[in-house]
Amino acid sequence: MLENCKDAQERWGGVSQIIDRWLHSRQALLVSFCHLSEKKEIADGDREVEASVRTLCQQLVDYISAGHFEVYDQLIQEGQAFGDSEGLEQAKSLYREIDATTDLAVDFNDKYQETDDLESLAQDLSELGVALETRFAAEDRMIDTLHTVHKNQLA
The DSSP call for residue 43 is -
Residue 11 has pLDDT above 60, yes or no: no
Q: What is the pLDDT of residues 108-155, one digit of tens each?
A: 999 998 877 888 999 999 999 999 999 999 999 999 898 876 666 655
Specify burial of residue 68 (Cβ count, 10 A radius: 0-12, 13-18, 19+).
middle
- Tens digits of residue pLDDT in 27-79: 999 999 999 999 877 777 788 889 999 999 999 999 999 999 999 988 888 88
pTM reported for the whole predicted model: 0.85
CA dihedral 68, 70, 73, 75 (to 10 degrees): -110
- CATH topology for 2-149 is Four Helix Bundle (Hemerythrin (Met), subunit A) (1.20.120)
To the nearest whole number, what is the mean pLDDT of the chain? Answer: 86
